[in-house]
């Protein structure tokens, strides 16, 4: 990944050596943090868990930075997020127990369509299986192709297509998405 000129200029004034691994990794994190955090949040449905998961994956990426920096570090971290979410999903079944009814919390709805849209999307993604959720996030948020998703998830392309079709069918029936405006940036009128 190329390092921005501002960083190289600053570095060349202070050091005769090429940029260090720490600087390269810092530039990578600054350039991709928001996008990767959003992928993690869409996978988990929980901002706090997404931040923890991204932090864990970034630590692993930093430890292997010399190997992955030359290839596709965004793809490596993205695949790490999907795998970390799958690991959490497997572990969760051993310690989480469903309760009769969750406590209903009233929240103040922000009039901005973005906030309402984000909540609706997270709620609509919640009932999907982890594979369906991963395929939908990688396909429609990350805009990956079917072969790229298949490589990331290590599943056949046909499985990606059928999983995507099933997930989209579920999302079309989702009441959370039925009330969204066409443009999520517009205000929600009540």
How confident is the model at residue 67, as a pLDDT?
A: 87
pLDDT by residue (tens digit) across 58-117? 999 999 888 888 888 998 899 989 888 887 766 665 555 556 666 666 665 555 666 667
pLDDT by residue (tens digit) across 27-69? 999 999 999 999 999 888 888 889 999 999 999 999 988 888 8
Of 154, 143, 148, 136, nearest to 45 by C-alpha is 136
Stretch 137-153: mean pLDDT: 91
Whether 186 has a pLDDT exceeding 50, the answer reads no
- Give whole-number Cα distances, 31 to 37, 63, 73, 74, 159, in Å: 12, 19, 12, 10, 32
How confident is the model at residue 160, as a pLDDT?
A: 94
How confident is the model at residue 45, as a pLDDT?
A: 86
Stretch 139-147: mean pLDDT: 91
How confident is the model at residue 118, as a pLDDT?
A: 78
Containing 12, the helix (H) or strand (E) segment is: helix 5-14
Q: Are 81 and 43 in contact (CB under 8 A)?
A: yes
d(CA 107, CA 152): 37
Tracing tokens 């990956």 back to the chain, one arrives at 144
How confident is the model at residue 159, as a pLDDT?
A: 95
């Amino acid at each position: 990944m190329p390092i921005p000129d501002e960083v190289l200029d600053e570095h060349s004034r202070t050091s005769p050596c090429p940029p260090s691994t720490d600087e390269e990794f810092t530039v990578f994190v600054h350039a991709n943090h928001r996008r990767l955090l959003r992928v993690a949040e869409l996978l988990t449905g929980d901002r706090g868990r997404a931040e923890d998961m991204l932090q864990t994956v970034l630590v692993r990426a930093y430890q292997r930075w010399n190997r992955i920096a030359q290839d596709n570090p965004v793809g490596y971290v993205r695949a790490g997020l999907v795998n970390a979410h799958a690991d959490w999903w497997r572990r969760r079944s051993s310690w989480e127990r469903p309760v009769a009814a969750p406590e209903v919390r009233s929240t103040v709805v922000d009039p901005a369509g973005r906030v309402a849209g984000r909540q609706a999307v997270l709620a609509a993604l919640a009932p999907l299986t982890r594979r369906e959720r991963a395929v939908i996030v990688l396909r429609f948020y990350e805009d990956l192709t079917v072969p790229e998703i298949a490589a990331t998830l290590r599943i056949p392309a046909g499985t990606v297509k059928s999983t995507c079709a099933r997930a989209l069918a579920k999302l079309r029936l989702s009441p959370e998405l039925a009330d969204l405006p066409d443009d999520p940036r517009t205000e929600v009128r009540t």
